[in-house]
Structures are given as C-alpha cells and as structure tokens.
Chains A and B, each alone.
Chain A
Amino acid sequence: MWTKSFIMALISVIILGVLSLSIGVYDIRGQEDGIRMLFITRLPRTIALMLTGAAMSMSGLVMQLITQNRLVEPTTTGTIEWAGLGLMFVYLIFPAPTLVQRMTGAIIFSFIGTMVFFLFLRKIKLRSSLIVPIIGMMLGAVISAISTFIGLVFQMSQNIETWFVGSFASVQVGRYEYLWLIVIITILIFLYADKLTLAGLGEDVTTSLGLNYNRIVLVGTGLISLAVGVVAAVIGNLPFLGLIVPNIVSMYRGDNLRDNLPWVCLVGIGTIMVCDIISRTIIRPFEVPVSMILGTVGSVVFIIILLRQRRLG
C-alpha cells in the first residue's frame, strides 16, 4: 500500500487540506482571535469534507461491487431521494426534529431504498448494464414525486428544497460531529472488504465458496445506508462523487477492493476538497453550494467515462 505514488497522493491531499484551512473571508492569521476561529469553523469544515468525501466515494464503490455495475452510486439508485423522503417523514412526525432524529430517518429510508433498488435489479432481467442507472434515476424521480406531493400537502417543500443542496457552509463545532461515525463505518468496510469482493463475483460463486450471499449484501447495504444517511442529514446531497472516484481509481489500478479502498478514500477526499475550494473562491466573499460544482463537474466526468467505455467496447 505504501508505494511512492500513494505517498505522493497523500502529500497532495494534505496540501489541499492546509489550503482548505487557510481559505476564507475571515483572515485567521491577521486577527487576534484567529486561532479560535480556526477551531470553530475552519477545522470542522475541513474534517467534514474529508469524512464525507471518503464516505460517499466508498459507498459508491461498495454499491458498484454488489450490483456488478460500474455506473451505480447513491445518486443513480435513488438512495438520495429516499433519504430525502425519510427526512420529510421525520419533519412530519416531529415538529422540530433534532439532528439525531433526522439522521435516523434518513438512514432508515436510505436502507429501505437501497434494498428496494437491489431487489428490483434481481427481479428484473436487464438487457444492458447502461439501463441500470436509468432505472435507478427514474426510481429516484418517483420517490421525489412522492416527496414533493407530501411536501405540498403539508407545506414543507421548502425544507426539502434547501436540504437537497449539499453545502458545507453551515459546518462548525457542534454541528458536524456525527460525521465521525463515518470513521467507524470505514473501518467496518475495510474489515468486510474481502467478503464484499467475493459478493461482487455473483451469488453462485459466493455460495459455492461457502458464504452467505444475502447476508453480505445486507451488511454491505446497511453500511452504505449508514454512511449515506449520516451525510444526507448533516450535509445534504452530493451528486456523482461515489461514481467518478471509484471509476477513476479502477481505471488506473484495476479492481481489488482491499487495495483500492485507501485510494478511493484519498481521491474522494481530494476531489471534494478541490470542489469545496472552488465553491468558496469562485464568487468571493460569497460561496456557492458544493453540490452544484460537483453536479456540473461530475456529470462531465461521468459522460467522459461513459464515452471511454463505449470506445473500449
């Protein structure tokens, strides 16, 4: 793992992290309470970026393994929309939900949604792997139509609207700590990596090797839902991160999950940091939500990946 290129990548991510700490309207070096500010907003933000970047790109990777399809990730399976629906229900039940309540709702619904999608895939014969993300996104559209309907009836569409734009602007001490859960999830995924790789070979191979395929899928889905749900409740929607990062990594490094996981985490962290730095500097002193940058850049990268696949056949 500790090859020269990995160390280089690590160093560049650290440089990005330092850069991310030093960018901002408030001059933390010039002002006397600069250090305090650093710990109140800058550091939490950078940590939040690192954790979500790792979480989203890993969830994408695990989903791609389980479905044996490279074009799958939380945005192309409707998982994000399910998380939104979950948040909506929490707002319905509790008038002023706490972050824990919102997170629980998002996690449970992401789990249900991801399972629904997986069941869908198993029940249906597919003519082409390209159809999978199309169906996933239509599934997502159905769910968001339901959310919109509930939102209109109970006059809550604004909650969902603001939620749907993922941004790190409000991250500060006391508001992001739940993201640390991602560290635990990451460790669990590392421990489970070999089994997930086997599950990626298909149900028959897994079963003949003496493993319980359904259990692996269930645990994998549970881990993804935890990660996606936490990110959804704390940050919001971050499109395409889980798709572009694993694809770029496997383009250069092949498909061994355990070997690739550190790379995926690292590239995920780097990507989201770059996007966040852009989002903070492009209209200084204001900032745009990072999800918009990710959506725009991510879709371009996604299309390039697709076209490259077409050329390779």
Chain B
Amino acid sequence: METAYFNNEDRSAGAFPSKKDERRYWIILISLIALGILASYGLLVYKNPVPISSPSFLPVVKRRTVALTAMIIAAICQSLSTVAFQTITNNKVITPSLLGFEALYSVIHTSTIFFFGASTFINFTGASSFIIQIILMVLMCLILYGWLLSGKYGNLQLMLLVGVILGTGLKSLSSFMRRLLAPSEFDILQAKLFGSVNNADIRYFPIAIPIVIVAALLLLIYSNKLNVLSLGKDICMDLGVRHKRSTIYVLILVSVLMSISTALVGPLTFYGFLVATLSYQAAPTYDHKYIFPMALAIGFLIITGAYFFMYHIFDAQGVVSVIIEMFGGITFLAVVLRKGTL
C-alpha cells in the first residue's frame, strides 16, 4: 500500500485504480469512437448502388442518414439510461426496458385509435403528438414509480416488479383492443407500432434530437450525484444527498430517454444491457464521468457496426435488432451466472 502511495507513477487520486487503467481507458475509448465513425461512414457510402459522380448519389446518402440518425439517437438513449438506471437501482443486471415503456407506447397508440377512430389517429402524428406521447409516458412513469417509491414501504424492487407485470398486462390490454378494431384501422396502427431504424419518422427528429441532447447533458452533469447514489441508500443519505429526490430525478430523465427511443425505433430489451455491461468492463471506475462516454462509444459502435455488417457484408436485413437482442440476452445470462448474486 505504502509503496503504491509514494510511487507517483502508480498513485491514484482520480477515478481509476492506476495510471495504467486510465491510459487503457482512453485508448479503448478513442479506438471505439474511431471504429464507430468508420462503421457509420460505411453505412452511409458503402455499396451505394450509384457512382459518386451521379446526381442521385446524394439522395441515397440522405436516405441512409435518416437511419443513421435514428441509430445514434437510440444509442444515446439506451446507453445513458441503462447505466443511470442500473446505478440508481444498485443492480447491474436489470434494464429500464423492464419498466414497461414499450407496452405503454402501444397502449397510447391503440387507445387513440380505439377511442377516437382512425381519422384522429392519422392526424395524431407530427411534432405536437410526439411531444404529447412523451409527456404522457413520462407522466405515467412518474406517477406510478414516484408513488411506489414513496411512503414507508417504498421499494425499488417492488417498483420494478410492478413495472414488469404492468408491462405484461398493458400488452394484453392493447392486443385485446387491437382485436376489436376494424381491419383497416388495424393496418394503420400496425404500421405505426413497428418501429425500427429504417422507418423512423423523420418528422420527429427536430423535437427528439434537442430533447435527447438536453436529457443526456443533464445526466452527464449529474455524474457526481450518480457516483454517490451508486453507494446505496444509506451511505447516500449520510453524505447528504436526498436519495428519493435524486432517484426520481434520474428516473424522469431515464423515462424521457427511453420513451424517445421506443417511439423512434421500437423496443430494445437487451441492447442497453449489453452496452452497460461492456462499458463497466472497459471503464474500470466508479466515476460516471468516465462510464457515460464509454457507454456512448460502445453503444454507438455496436449499433452501427451490427447494421453495417448485417446489411452490407452478410446481406441479412431485418434481423439486426434481433441479433443484438440475442447477444445481449446471452450476455445477460453469462453475467448473472458469473456474478452469482442478484
């Protein structure tokens, strides 16, 4: 211990156990970002059916830019919210998608068409409707989870379980309502509910992007508090951080990010988990100021890399998200088994 303390080279006053780890962190981070940029460049121009000199080269790139933007938004939302969520729940094996956002999203849409009819539903697109959706989803999460967390018996695990069950129930409810719809209404709805990076609605970008940036920045700024929150409720309160209030604040940001991601590209259960788990490996530190950037870089690389390989190398369109989910799921099992405690 003492030698380590006096040895300047190994001394660690910062976020990392040693200088070596810090160096490793930066190398990994920079190479991940570089690879991510490479993959997104590939997504944009690789195998472009028209030559670069042709006038239709740019429109193709433009169309691909939409998909890429959706991927980046999804990466930011899922990575940041999963890391933050795992910190406040003090559990590195759960993901915020457990809270039932996807089900909530489909219930909002289904009940719009169910109660107000198809014409209202078609008009219920564009900027204002998007904001209304997000507000509705965040509000519901806030009421529900705020309520479950408050009171004498407030309990995070209970909140999670209620979220999971509610998700299942809402899924049944919306598929039940869908059964009652006329086939034409059902078609309209179905097109809407199948989110993916390739049919992300471009009209949502002008609102989604600023909100995501603001929420992401707020989370990044909150890093120091998150470091304290990760120590658990008791220590947190000893150190003078209002645990419940900070938890709910983080939950709001998480639900904003998750709602946007779900509304844009549809549900992703294990993607965020995969990203968060890998980031803890790549960034051996407690400090969220370092974990967040790493998570962003990994999330970015995984999604762009996966799409690039599956689209242009293996020509397997459509299964990308399924593959990410499957790998994420298998990682989940491996992590749970190796950790041995939950």
Chain A residues at the B interface, C-beta cutoff of 8 Å: 71, 75, 120, 123-128, 130-131, 133-135, 137-139, 141-142, 145-146, 148-149, 152-153, 165, 239-240, 283, 288-289, 291-296, 298-300, 302-303, 306-307, 310-311, 313
A130-B161, A152-B318 known; A123+B340 contact, CB < 8 A: yes
Distance (Å) between the CB of A20 and the closest chain B CB? 20
A137 / chain B contacts, CB cutoff of 8 Å: 164, 168
Residue B322 at the chain A interface, CB threshold 8 Å: yes
Contact residues of B: prevailing secondary structure: helix
A-B contact count (CB 8 A): 127
CB nearest to B180 among chain A residues: A283
Residue B330 at the chain A interface, CB threshold 8 Å: yes
A123-B337, A311-B153 known; A145+B176 contact, CB < 8 A: no
CB nearest to B177 among chain A residues: A292
Q: Supply 22 A–B pairs (Cβ within 8 Å), ascending by A.
A: A71-B161, A75-B168, A130-B155, A133-B161, A133-B164, A134-B94, A137-B164, A138-B98, A142-B326, A142-B330, A142-B333, A145-B328, A148-B325, A149-B323, A288-B176, A292-B179, A293-B176, A296-B176, A299-B166, A306-B161, A306-B165, A310-B153
Q: How many residues of B contact A (CB 8 A)?
A: 42
The contact of A291 among B172, B326, B336, B339, by CB within 8 Å, is B172
B340 / chain A contacts, CB cutoff of 8 Å: 123-125
Interface residues as binary, B165-183 with A (CB distance below 8 Å gives 1, 0 otherwise):
1101111110110011000
CA distance A121 to B46 in the complex (A): 47
Interface residues of B in 262-299 (CB under 8 A from A): 269-270
Q: Is the CB of B160 within 8 A of A130?
A: yes
A141 / chain B contacts, CB cutoff of 8 Å: 269-270, 329
B326 / chain A contacts, CB cutoff of 8 Å: 142, 145-146, 149
Q: Is the CB of B162 within 8 A of A306?
A: yes
Interface residues of B in 34-70 (CB under 8 A from A): none
A125-B342, A127-B342, A135-B342 known; A142+B270 contact, CB < 8 A: yes
Residue B157 at the chain A interface, CB threshold 8 Å: yes
Interface residues of B in 99-132 (CB under 8 A from A): none
Chain B residues at the A interface, C-beta cutoff of 8 Å: 93-94, 98, 153, 155, 157-158, 160-162, 164-166, 168-173, 175-176, 179-180, 269-270, 318-319, 322-323, 325-326, 328-330, 332-333, 336-337, 339-342
A141-B329, A142-B332, A148-B322 known; A124+B342 contact, CB < 8 A: yes
Q: Is the CB of B269 within 8 A of A145?
A: yes
Q: Is the CB of A120 within 8 A of B337?
A: yes
CB nearest to B169 among chain A residues: A299
A142 / chain B contacts, CB cutoff of 8 Å: 270, 326, 329-330, 332-333
CB nearest to A289 among chain B residues: B179
CB nearest to A130 among chain B residues: B157
B166 / chain A contacts, CB cutoff of 8 Å: 299, 303
A296 / chain B contacts, CB cutoff of 8 Å: 169, 172-173, 176
A299 / chain B contacts, CB cutoff of 8 Å: 165-166, 168-170, 172
Q: Is the CB of B176 within 8 A of A292?
A: yes
B169 / chain A contacts, CB cutoff of 8 Å: 295-296, 298-300, 302-303
A283 / chain B contacts, CB cutoff of 8 Å: 179-180
CB nearest to B330 among chain A residues: A142
Known: A134-B98, A138-B93, A310-B158. 6 other contacts (CB 8 A): A138-B98, A142-B329, A142-B333, A145-B325, A153-B319, A295-B173
The contact of B322 among A120, A123, A149, A239, by CB within 8 Å, is A149
CB nearest to B162 among chain A residues: A303
A152 / chain B contacts, CB cutoff of 8 Å: 318-319, 322
A311 / chain B contacts, CB cutoff of 8 Å: 153
CA distance A138 to B170 in the complex (A): 17
Q: Is the CB of B153 within 8 A of A139?
A: no
CA distance A51 to B39 in the complex (A): 55
CA distance A139 to B164 in the complex (A): 13
A288 / chain B contacts, CB cutoff of 8 Å: 176, 179-180
CB nearest to A119 among chain B residues: B337
B337 / chain A contacts, CB cutoff of 8 Å: 120, 123-124
CA distance A307 to B180 in the complex (A): 31
CA distance A299 to B169 in the complex (A): 5
CA distance A310 to B157 in the complex (A): 11
The contact of B164 among A120, A124, A134, A289, by CB within 8 Å, is A134
B158 / chain A contacts, CB cutoff of 8 Å: 130, 306, 310
Q: Is the CB of A292 within 8 A of B270?
A: no
Q: Is the CB of B179 within 8 A of A124?
A: no
B162 / chain A contacts, CB cutoff of 8 Å: 303, 306-307
B93 / chain A contacts, CB cutoff of 8 Å: 135, 138
B328 / chain A contacts, CB cutoff of 8 Å: 145
CB nearest to A137 among chain B residues: B164
Distance (Å) between the CB of A204 and the closest chain B CB? 20
Q: Which of B172, B180, B336 has the most CB of A within 10 A?
A: B172
A298 / chain B contacts, CB cutoff of 8 Å: 169
A127 / chain B contacts, CB cutoff of 8 Å: 341-342
CA distance A83 to B186 in the complex (A): 29
CA distance A123 to B165 in the complex (A): 25
A130 / chain B contacts, CB cutoff of 8 Å: 155, 157-158, 160-161
Q: Is the CB of A131 within 8 A of B342?
A: yes
Q: Which of A135, A141, A149, A153 has the most CB of B within 10 A?
A: A141
CB nearest to A292 among chain B residues: B176
Distance (Å) between the CB of B302 and the closest chain A CB? 15
A300 / chain B contacts, CB cutoff of 8 Å: 169
CA distance A205 to B337 in the complex (A): 26
CA distance A148 to B340 in the complex (A): 28
